[in-house]
Amino acid sequence: MEEIGKIKLDYSKYPGQDFYCDGSVEDELLEIVKQYPKEEYARIIKERNSWPVLYHLSSQRENIVDWLPMDRSHKVLEVGSGCGAITGALARKAGSVTCVELSRKRSLINAYRHRECDNVTIHVGNFKDIEPELPRDFDYICLIGVFEYGQSYIGGDTPYEDFLKILMPHLGEKGRIVIAIENKLGLKYFAGCMEDHLGTYFSGIENYAEGGGVRTFSRSGLEKIFRNCGVEQAHFYYPYPDYKFMHTLFSDERLPGKGELSDNYRNFDRDRMLLFDEKKAFDGMIEDGLFPVFSNSYLAVLGAAPEVQYVKYSTERAPEYAIRTEIRMSPEGEKQVRKYPACKAAESHVRRMAKAYEALSEKYRGGAEGSQSGAEAGRCPEINHCLEINRCELAEKGNELYAAFEFVKGTPLSELMDGCLERNDTGKFYEYFREYLQRIGHNPDYPVSDYDLIFSNILVNGDRWTLIDYEWTCDRAIPVKELAYRAVYCYLLESSAREKLETERVLEELELTPEEAEGLKDKEREFQTGVTGELLSLAQMRELLGHPMIEPSEWLDRYYRAAAVNRVQIFTDKGEGYSEETSLMLPEAFRNDHLIELDLGVEGDVKMLRIDPAFSACMIRVVELSFNGQSLPLRSKEISVNGRIVKPDVVVFPTEDPNINISLEKLQRKKEDRLHAVIEIACLPVATAKVVAAAIKYLI
């Protein structure tokens, strides 16, 4: 037994050596957790710019268990605790945490990282050796990124069923097993992400045909395993974008809506392909009810269903603004929205929400309060009712401070606007936009404003428009056009499909100049900087880690352009015009990708000859062009081209059918005529070739 701080490490089943290790990175992690407090981890992650440091030390890893309804009366078993990515969250919530981990080095990292916790014991050794001595009254058994290694842990013909059957007797009467695992049919794998464990493309989709000791499962595959083990209750949750860095958790009771899934660039540790737009694909799957099949990850809860149906973490923020939002069932059996501070520093931010509700209700009185009638009431947004502020402190009996709100039904205004753009119904789009302006513009001089009046924060249900999120309420009047421009700005950032919206038209509607709009963008950037503080978002971290997203469409385009370059076609005209049937392809004319050389015999009755140097827009330099030894300058009357002559020997062709026409009728003929040509060529996108051609025309 060893103690590090208040953590106990039990080595009684340790075999004396670690059978797996990530090498020097584990030494680096151990050095970090020994020397620095947790408050420094975000800075270190940013400075080290390392995937293992990000993966093992990011606080966002805790989100996958942070929402679980645990309190100080609960006992937790964490199998495969690793470097302690989720151990701290479990220790904060539960009464006791028992960890099982094969690696001593990783257990030391975990212990130093959480050495202030007096309720954690780490058993170091093989699970099969430790398991017989474990208690049989755990309230939670957590397998986070562990179940897929069942073959390695357990072995045998049915390792995954056997793994669960070994664990289930260790549950108390109302205990739950929590499994977080990738979906082998996750959309990200179809879109070009490598399989997380093997680092290969499409391995899970191809049912691990190449073998290996790791297996992930589809939802139906997991359900089959659970049935085989006699599991009576299994509830599926859908961590998004995946369970490793989850910021949103969906459930069968609260599935995502169209437009919600836009954070899809995953695989931080490896390059990936980008085969299609995952957001658009998810939108189509959501329409067809297929999201549960293609969710990137699953969180399965075996046992009674938690009250929580949806969770969203807003933790890529400065600590004083970091919160968690839940949709859950209240004790009275009604759906309820709750907002929790993610840390002590954010408590005052949550407490201010009740005051914001009261202030906005007064500003928009008529919508929320019902004191005005008819058309006047219809012009006001309702304010989502703040039911209570639970005033207990975070440390009191394991309870948490939260603000509770009425659950409101409706369609996000952003989704209605998206539908207009999809149908190219700009008239209806601007009807919604003008109604939005009218409603939020009520009582414009009142010294209270919600800075976050974006379209997705407004739910529309018939004539009822309800503002559902108002955490960024301030004590001053902000001009309506400033609030509306920010709403449009955020709307455009969320999806490339919205780029068809003409921003010039929006500026006209708001009577804003481009200069004023740029000033408002600067204000938005200042606001975001204030909200996020020094933290880097995961999207920014992905850029820093430097793993590119490879777009095969670009490579295919290059391939086809290269193929087009390597196809020279010769047409001849004997008085009846050119014909595809009598043309000749000369792929052998290419000496390399950029040089054409041909020596061609020409029949005596040919009157016109045409060289098509490529099947794409291009620029060429004629090194040599001669007929029977007679040089043919491009500007001679025997030559015509469908491009623009830049120099005496250079032509730009702004067309995908470039051609050089040569009239042979007035040239000296021989018994055996020969055409000789040496041409340098570079393919260009058509748009670029047109710009170059237009610029030359302007200069001439």
Instruction: Report the pLDDT averaged over residues 349-361.
Output: 94
> Is the confidence at residue 614, as pLDDT, over 70?
yes
- Least trusted range by pLDDT, from 3-17, 219-233, 372-386, 510-524: 372-386
- Least trusted range by pLDDT, from 264-278, 313-327, 507-521: 264-278
pLDDT tier for residue 538 given thresholds of 50, 70 and 90: confident
> Is the confidence at residue 393, as pLDDT, over 60?
no
pLDDT at position 397, please? 40
CA distance 276 to 279: 9
Q: Report pLDDT digits (tens) over 439-455.
A: 999 999 999 999 999 99
> Is the confidence at residue 396, as pLDDT, over 50?
no
Beta pairing partners, 573: 608
CA distance 313 to 245: 10
User: What are the phi and psi torsion angles at 657 (to 5°)?
Assistant: -130, 60
pLDDT at position 556, please? 66
User: What are the phi and psi torsion angles at 463 (to 5°)?
Assistant: -85, -5
Q: What structural domains and CATH numbers belong to the chain? A: 2-307 (3.40.50.150), 411-543 (no CATH), 557-699 (no CATH)
Instruction: Report the pLDDT averaged over residues 521-543.
Output: 83
Beta pairing partners, 592: 595
pLDDT tier for residue 391 given thresholds of 50, 70 and 90: low
- DSSP 8-class letter at 255: P
CA distance 528 to 526: 6
517 compared with 373, residue with greater pLDDT? 517
- Least trusted range by pLDDT, from 109-113, 216-220, 617-621: 617-621
> Is the confidence at residue 106, as pLDDT, over 80?
yes
Q: Report pLDDT digits (tens) over 154-198.
A: 888 999 999 999 999 999 999 999 999 999 999 999 999 999 998
Q: Report pLDDT digits (tens) over 31-75.
A: 999 999 999 999 999 899 898 999 999 999 999 999 999 999 999
> Is the confidence at residue 395, as pLDDT, over 50?
no
Q: Report pLDDT digits (tens) over 315-354.
A: 889 999 999 999 999 888 889 999 999 989 999 999 999 9
Q: Report pLDDT digits (tens) over 287-298.
A: 999 999 999 999
pTM of the model: 0.78
> What does the DSSP assignment read for 580-622?
STT-EE-GGGEEETTEEEEEEEE-TT--EEEEE--SS-EEEEE
What is the percentage of the chain residues whose pLDDT exceeds 90? 72
pLDDT at position 566, please? 65
Instruction: Report the pLDDT averaged over residues 518-524.
Output: 93
